[in-house]
A and B are shown apart, each in its own frame.
Chain A
Amino acid sequence: MTGTQTAAVAETAAPAAAETTEDGYNFAYLDEQTKRMIRRCILKAVAVPGYQVPFGGREMPLPYGWGTGGMQVTASIIGANDTLKVIDQGADDTTNAVNIRRFFARTADVETTETTGEASIIQTRHRVPEDPMTEDQILVLQVPQPEPLRSLEPREIECRKMHAYKEYGLMQVSLYEDIARFGEIATSYSYPVMVNDRYLMSPTPIPKFDNPKLDSYPALQLYGAGREKRIYAIPPYTKVKSLDFDDHPFQVQQWEENCALCGAEDTFLDEVILDDRGGKMYVCSDSHYCARRRAEGHSGKLSGSAAAAYAAAVGADQPEKGA
């Protein structure tokens, strides 16, 4: 991590201390003392990449499990001049992303954007953007379960010991058992990684497709787990290695089709069911990336008028419209 970025993390938001946006609440909801406490934890997390720093997580006005950890991290680092992008499943327009973006627009009055390149902070759930991020940006990930060993060892005390001793044999054995039973490692998301050759870390439920991006990533990655009250970080350009075996190297998901809208061959694709007879298509999960490519003239097999017809059809019976 660069020196300027460390300073940015520690000092961001301070000038906005006196401002209030939503009546009766401080800038970005949390009080300044709390934000300072969280920024200290973030600094510790950055100093020890992949280590889960316990922090005094606060109740947020959104439910636990819906991004309260990420929100607290964002609230602590955001300043009046920041531009925020919020995505969920890679998309800006999923309801939870909309809701969190609205929260910060309301409580911090910051500019928001859907363009990956324009954002200074991107809060995300379950995806790393397809477009590369830069050293000037921060990626905040919402974490439901920070402990990569939890599914193997439910006890916190034991897990902390295993991390302290760098005793990760259990995880290797579990991956090996997968290979023995299924012929491959049967973990498709939350795929465990080693950070800086020291700490085993859960990259949150991003698909393993996104794991390679974490390695030597130019942007600072901050991980916030609200319910479990842990913060961890991957500083820029840190080595992040997905666990594997010499004879079973780590592999990411591949699709036989391309994005039906923009034709992208190298993105994570969501499967969209078109009818009840098995008809389906694949589209980019990263909505901004897909839209940008289409604006640049790329097209998939379902472009133009066909896409419009599809939009109308799906839009007509989409469940969330009108609540």
Chain B
Amino acid sequence: MYVAVKGGEQAILNSHKVIAEERRGDPAVPELTLAQVKEQMQLAVDRVMTEGSLYDRDLAALAIKQAQGDLVEAIFLLRAYRTTLTRFGATLPIDTAKMAVRRRISAAYKDLPGGQVLGPSYDYTHRLLDFALAAEEGVGAPQVDMAEEPVDESIPRVTDILNHEGLIEEEVAADDEARVADLTREPMEFPAERDMRLQNLARGDEGFLLALGYSTQRGYGRNHPFAGEIRLGEVAVAFEPEELGFPIEIGEITVSECQMINQFAGSAERPPQFTRGYGLAFGHCERKTMAMALVDRALRARELDETVDYPAQDEEFVLYHSDNVEASGFVQHLKLPHYVDFQSELQLIRSLRRRHDEEQMEAAE
């Protein structure tokens, strides 16, 4: 009887129909196929896989199509699907030193073992709209010439090279057998250890991390970063079934990795030494891994006895607000009815205003 939202059920169904129609767009235009999204929107697929925490190009393409290209919505779709999947176990850690490298650059050294491999990158393109791409006949099948020499099979990490001289902190797990935290199964705990922080950042919103990383460069937590190394390529994934007792390779995935080298003045106990920030993402998400590495380093303030003065160093601030599925949901929940709370506030403000008027009157008398 109280009718302001009566018919909600029908309205919801109708809304779904409207969105289906809008998603399809002009029916005279051929419908987008998942293969097209997967092959020609690869970077969108990569971002959705990374923040959706699920390495599946087909499902990510489906999510992008279903979300009309809204990547945060697509990430949400993928997450909601992922959470229902059965868990067989955890793979062994991937070894990025054994990556089949397609791109590998270091800003710390001009040349280094393995060389600089530019690979696919927009870095040195002129950002001029390429009207050739707008042509009806399309771009055909562009092909790149084979390099004269293949890329080295195994390319040492820059951080490992630095490590020979002891110039950079070693990165060894405190306890190799210790279980790695998993935010998708357990809530965050504070203070958060680095495994939990890195998982949070890996799933975190690229835009949020980009802004935070940027803030550390502009003086809000400066930690003098160098892009020690960025690499992109394929790594093998191995799984060790309990009943088998030895690892088997179950496939390969594409990952981007960023090792940031940062300064550290040292302390009474530790000599001056470079420190690290780390970023890793599924597919080609270079900007994300760089931002992640900056924020990872900033969040190590506690561990490195630095004062926590800035947002990017504040782990509760960063980790609680990095997830775009959480953020998007909660910001948009403001669309839900709040009649009851608002009514309560109306009651309150009227009473406060009455009191205010009475006091004014008394004062005037």
**A residues neighboring B (CB under 8 Å):** 24-26, 29, 31, 54-61, 63-66, 68, 88-91, 93-99, 102, 125-127, 144, 154-157, 182-184, 186, 188-189, 205-209, 227, 229-230, 253, 255, 261, 268-272, 283-285, 287, 290-291, 294, 307, 310-311, 314-315, 318, 320-323
Contact = CB atoms under 8 A, between A and B. Distances in A.
A63 B333 contact: yes
Contact of A205 (B187, B188, B341, B352): B341
A98 B337 contact: no
Nearest to A315: B3
Contacts of B86: 31
A270 B338 CA distance: 11
A290 B15 CA distance: 29
A188 B330 contact: no
Interface in B139-190: 184-190
Contacts of B190: 156-157
Contacts of A55: 187
A315 B340 CA distance: 20
Nearest to A313: B3
A291 B1 CA distance: 7
Contacts of A287: 1-2
A320 B187 contact: no
A269 to B, nearest CB: 7
27 contacts: A24-B84, A54-B187, A56-B187, A58-B83, A58-B184, A61-B80, A63-B325, A63-B328, A65-B329, A89-B339, A93-B9, A96-B337, A97-B8, A126-B341, A154-B317, A183-B352, A184-B352, A188-B345, A207-B343, A227-B329, A261-B2, A270-B340, A272-B2, A290-B1, A315-B7, A318-B3, A318-B5
Chain B residues touching A, majority SS: helix
Nearest to B182: A56
B23 to A, nearest CB: 14
Interface of B: 1-12, 14-15, 18, 76, 79-80, 82-84, 86, 184-191, 316-317, 320, 325-326, 328-333, 336-341, 343-348, 351-352, 355
A125 to B, nearest CB: 8
B339 A59 contact: no
Contacts of B83: 58-60
A186 to B, nearest CB: 6
Contact of A59 (B10, B82, B332): B82
B355 A54 contact: no
A71 B83 CA distance: 15
Contacts of A56: 184-187
A255 B347 CA distance: 8
Contacts of A283: 2
Contact of A94 (B5, B325, B343): B5
B11 A182 contact: no
Can you list the 10 inter-chain pairs with the closest CB atoms, starting with the nearest?
A: A64-B329, A65-B333, A63-B329, A323-B15, A188-B344, A229-B187, A65-B330, A95-B8, A59-B83, A61-B80
Contacts of A230: 187
Contacts of B187: 54-57, 229-230
Contacts of B4: 272, 314, 318
A144 B332 CA distance: 12
A322 B14 contact: yes
Contacts of B10: 321
A323 B80 contact: no
A209 B1 contact: no
A156 B187 CA distance: 13
Given A290-B2, A323-B18, A102 B340 contact: no
Nearest to A282: B343
A89 B1 contact: no
A157 to B, nearest CB: 5
Contacts of A102: 9, 12
Contacts of A208: 344
B5 A95 contact: yes
Given A56-B186, A154-B316, A183-B355, A99 B344 contact: no
Contacts of B15: 323
B343 A271 contact: yes
A157 B184 CA distance: 21
Nearest to A268: B340
B11 A322 contact: yes
Contacts of B316: 154-157
A321 B271 CA distance: 68
